[in-house]
């Protein structure tokens, strides 16, 4: 192999890694939950040297997942690096909080308040303020977005419905938006029953169907995106939200793409979600 060919190879190889963020694991002790909560953070290239503040995306996991799942099961870091380097997404901090456990029957799961697990209270009163101070986050509506898959997609929608003054956009992937009948568990009291009950109590469809004019006006300040596969059993929920949004004059995006309720789909959705959030970050 000639020296010129070797040099060209090295230049091309190094260019693949010219933009490299990193994922770090951190924790916070919650007095609300009475326990330590772990979370992962994606820090863009230049975070440790530039000294400026960054926009933030809260990336929520699904049922039976944990804070590690986006990094372990997805190509989240590589996707973020690629999109930022290409200019499709702006440099941002991505926070991946833990609200779950693989054992859905005996361990807590869920982003909402339940008896013995007031996660939503923890998220807004303790978690969000702490991480935004620690990681030099701009911390206003325009520069804060939220997104997630399945249970996390539903939670991102609920959080924006309840706090439209805090988020510029919500991107719901294969979202679990309501649960008409909580799944039965042992004596109706196991953790899976409680989390499905909490999804039912926080139905995004019921919230929008019953929203008054003042609430509708606030919801119009958020950019909404519902992204679901055509083979996903929850596809109808995203379609219903889109129809209700149109009826109420709330602009949103709906994509029904080829795919199911799986990581192949969510990896492709993340490639759309980060540029979508970046549209507000750049204003």
Predicted confidence (pLDDT) per residue in 20-76, tens digit? 899 999 999 999 999 999 999 999 999 989 889 999 999 999 999 999 999 999 889
Give residue 125's pLDDT: 98
**Any alpha helices (H) in the chain, and if so which ranges?**
3-15, 47-50, 69-73, 76-86, 119-122, 128-134, 151-162, 191-201, 204-209, 213-219, 235-247, 263-281
**Among residues 207, 105, 86, 104, which one has the least CA distance to residue 154?**
207
Give residue 183's pLDDT: 60
| Contact of 216 with 246, CB cutoff 8 Å | no
| Helix/strand/coil for 80 | helix
Give residue 55's pLDDT: 98
Give residue 179's pLDDT: 86
Helix or strand (DSSP H, E) at 37: strand 35-43
Give residue 206's pLDDT: 97
pTM above 0.95? no
User: Which residues of the chain carry a pLDDT beneath 70?
Assistant: 1-19, 181-189
**Among residues 89, 11, 9, 12, which one has the least CA distance to residue 44?**
89
Task: Encode burial over 145-180: b for 16+ CB neighbours within 10 A, e otherwise.
Answer: bbbbbbbbbbbbbbbbbebbebbbbbbbbbbbbbbe
Give residue 14's pLDDT: 41
Structure-token pair, residue 124: 């807004």
Q: CB atoms < 10 A from the CB of 67, how many?
A: 24
Give residue 11's pLDDT: 37
Rg (CA), the chain: 19
Give residue 34's pLDDT: 95
């Amino acid at each position: 192999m000639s020296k010129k060919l070797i040099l060209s190879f090295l230049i091309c190889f190094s260019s693949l890694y010219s933009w490299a963020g990193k994922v770090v694991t951190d924790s916070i002790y919650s007095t609300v939950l009475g326990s330590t909560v772990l979370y992962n953070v994606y820090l863009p290239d230049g975070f440790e040297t530039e000294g400026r503040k960054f926009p933030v995306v809260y990336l929520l996991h699904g049922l039976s997942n944990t804070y590690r799942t986006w990094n372990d099961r997805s190509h989240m870091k590589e996707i973020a690096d690629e999109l930022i380097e290409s200019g499709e997404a702006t440099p941002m901090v991505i926070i991946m909080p833990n609200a779950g456990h693989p054992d859905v029957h005996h361990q807590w799961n869920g982003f909402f308040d339940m008896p013995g697990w007031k996660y939503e209270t923890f998220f807004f009163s303790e978690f969000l303020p702490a991480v935004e101070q620690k990681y030099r986050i701009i911390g206003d509506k325009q520069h804060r977005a939220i997104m997630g898959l399945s249970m996390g997609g539903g939670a991102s929608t609920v959080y924006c419905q309840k706090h439209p003054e805090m988020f510029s956009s919500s991107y719901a992937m294969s979202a679990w938006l309501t649960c008409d009948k909580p799944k039965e568990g042992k004596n109706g009291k196991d953790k899976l029953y409680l989390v499905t009950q909490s999804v039912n109590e926080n139905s995004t469809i019921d919230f929008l169907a019953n929203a008054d004019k003042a609430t509708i006006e606030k919801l119009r300040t958020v950019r909404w995106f519902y992204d679901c596969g055509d083979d996903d059993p929850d596809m109808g929920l995203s379609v219903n939200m889109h129809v209700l949004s149109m009826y109420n004059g709330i602009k949103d995006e709906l994509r029904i793409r080829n795919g199911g309720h799986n990581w192949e789909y969510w990896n492709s959705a993340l490639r759309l979600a980060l540029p979508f959030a970046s549209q507000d970050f750049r204003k």
